[in-house]
Amino acid sequence: MGLAAEAQFHVLAVDDSLIDRILIERLLKTSSFHVTAVDSGSKALKFLGLVEEEQRNEEPSFVSQKSHNQDIDVNLIITDYCMPEMTGYDLLRKIKESKSLKDIPVVIMSSENVPSRINRCLEEGAEEFFLKPVQQSDVNKLRPHLLKSKVKEVGEEDQVINLSRNDIKEILA
């Protein structure tokens, strides 16, 4: 896969540590990923439009489930586990509970090797759990998850197109 094809992947990196955020951002950019880096789970949710989505869930169902930030297509989220206010685990749960974001792969990273924490994150839907410092070999493990999510997106688009064709056939029949 060439650089042009990989450049289409957008990764949201979440870490409260400036040094770790810069490191993961550089590693991802070295692999030709487009990176948006934020310093907290709440900023990640705001970037993803999830805070607005939670507020809209109280409104009538005819309101669109996509926020204005969903125009920015995020293909993967990589987040630190230990952060103030909201842990990476809490962020993972909010993303997996969201109708519009649940299919985005989430990777958790931590400097602490706590097996129960790792298992809990993986059971809740994390694709990977990396120990810090994150290495280039770890970043290379992201490609299959990105490709899997891209294939799923294309499959969903095909379903919508097929659904539309079937609807038209029924109308014309």
Strand order of the β-sheet with 128-131 is: 34-38, 10-14, 76-80, 106-110, 128-131
Tell me the one-letter amino acid at 83: M
Instruction: Supply the pTM of this predicted model.
Output: 0.76
DSSP 96: H
Q: 48, 69 in Cβ contact below 8 A? A: yes
Q: Which two tokens stand for residue 24?
A: 């993961």
H or E stretch including 5? helix 3-6
Phi, psi of 113 (to 5 degrees): -95, 85
> Within 13 Å, how many C-alpha atoms sit on residue 37's CB side?
17
Tell me whether the omega of the peptide bond preceding residue 84 falls within 30 degrees of 0, making it cis: no
Q: Set out the domains of the chain in order of their start, with CATH numbers.
A: 3-172 (3.40.50.2300)
Going residue by residue through the chain (173 aa), what tens digit of pLDDT does each one get?
444 444 479 999 999 999 999 999 999 999 999 999 999 999 999 999 987 544 445 443 333 334 444 456 899 999 999 999 999 999 999 999 999 999 999 999 999 999 999 999 999 999 999 999 999 999 999 988 887 766 655 555 555 455 555 555 555 55
Tell me the one-letter amino acid at 16: D
